[in-house]
């Protein structure tokens, strides 16, 4: 009988070239791929005569592994085990079943996590307040002024900056929801809200707190460059990094940055007058 086995690269990703050997010869493999070799051998032995199917495993002083169908001489070889074909096949089946169960358990955990995330996302939108806050924008602005000023102090920001972002994002509508799924006064995405520990994305205080925390993070990340921080707030910090720490070439993001800066100038002018 002839075996067809393969030499595998050390990174376990590349089959380098075939090694053709006779069953009555022995072969040397690196220890890390011993199980793969055993799987192949066990599969072959399953259809062989058990009288011809004993397999010996040796390890030399350099750590090389030898498989043979007969005892091997040599002082530098240490017999690790001897198996019959039936035992190898049985062990292979047990190992395969164990790996399959582990993979099924991992997949079940992944599915459960995805389902929980989907349910949480669905619940976020189901909790959206039905009616917007009544009154003009100036009335709505005054309603949240103290929350904005408190969040600004906690995160080392100016209240004018938070007002400019909120005016651009939601015009002070606490139940605002964008087509992309951003929520509330500062238009937080559910993932961002979770990242900054916002429990109720529709609660004005928590929403402002989460948005202020995210702005503080972005300003620190981009070395206090306000334009890049605003671009990151709109498109995500990954987009700013992707384009070489520049404002991404997205029309929406570029318009967003200009609009917030325009509102910021108006806020500062109003405060000074």
Residue with tokens 């690790």: 80
- Give the C-alpha distances (Å, rounded to integers) separating 162 from 41, 54, 214: 68, 76, 11
Indicate the pTM of the whole model.
Answer: 0.57
CA–CA separation, 52 and 146 (whole Å) = 86
At 87 the pLDDT is 80
141 and 233 part of one domain = yes
Cβ–Cβ under 8 Å, residues 216 and 157: yes
Cβ–Cβ under 8 Å, residues 18 and 40: no
Question: How many separate domains does the chain show?
Answer: 2
For residue 169, indicate whether it is catalytic.
yes
Low-confidence ranges of the chain (pLDDT < 50): 1-39, 42, 44-51
Q: Is there a domain that residue 31 lies in?
A: yes
At 17 the pLDDT is 36
CATH number at residue 224: 1.10.530.10
160 and 268 part of one domain = yes
Give the N- to C-terminal CA distance of the chain in Å, as an integer: 96
Q: Is there a domain that residue 10 lies in?
A: yes
Cβ–Cβ under 8 Å, residues 67 and 26: yes
At 122 the pLDDT is 59
Q: At what angle do helices 137-154 and 159-169 cross, to 10 degrees?
A: 130
CA–CA separation, 166 and 186 (whole Å) = 5
169, 209, 252, 272: the catalytic one is 169
Q: Is there a domain that residue 265 lies in?
A: yes
At 132 the pLDDT is 66
Residue with tokens 């003009």: 136
147 and 21 part of one domain = no
């Amino acid at each position: 009988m002839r075996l067809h086995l393969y030499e595998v690269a050390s990174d376990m990703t590349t089959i380098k070239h075939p090694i053709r050997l006779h069953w009555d010869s022995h072969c040397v493999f690196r220890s890390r791929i011993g199980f793969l070799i055993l799987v192949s051998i066990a599969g072959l032995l399953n259809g062989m005569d058990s009288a011809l199917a004993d397999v010996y495993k040796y390890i030399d002083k350099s750590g090389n592994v030898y498989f043979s169908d007969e005892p091997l001489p040599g002082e530098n070889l240490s017999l690790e085990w001897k198996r019959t074909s039936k035992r190898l096949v049985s062990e292979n089946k047990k190992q395969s079943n164990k790996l399959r169960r582990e993979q099924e358990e991992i997949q079940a955990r992944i599915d459960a996590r995805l389902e929980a995330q989907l349910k949480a996302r669905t619940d976020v939108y189901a909790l959206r307040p039905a009616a917007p806050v009544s009154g003009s924008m100036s009335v709505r602005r005054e309603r949240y002024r103290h929350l904005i000023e408190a969040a600004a102090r906690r995160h080392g920001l100016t209240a004018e900056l938070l007002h400019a972002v909120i005016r651009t994002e939601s015009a002070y509508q606490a139940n605002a929801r964008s087509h992309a799924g951003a929520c509330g006064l500062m238009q937080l995405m559910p993932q961002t809200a979770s990242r900054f520990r916002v429990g109720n994305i529709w609660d004005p205080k928590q929403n402002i707190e989460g948005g202020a925390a995210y702005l503080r993070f972005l300003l620190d990340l981009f070395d206090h460059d306000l334009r890049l921080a605003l671009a990151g707030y709109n498109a995500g910090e990954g987009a700013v990094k992707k384009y070489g720490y520049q404002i991404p070439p997205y029309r929406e993001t570029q318009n967003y940055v200009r609009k917030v800066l325009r509102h910021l100038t108006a806020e500062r002018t109003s405060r000074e007058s």
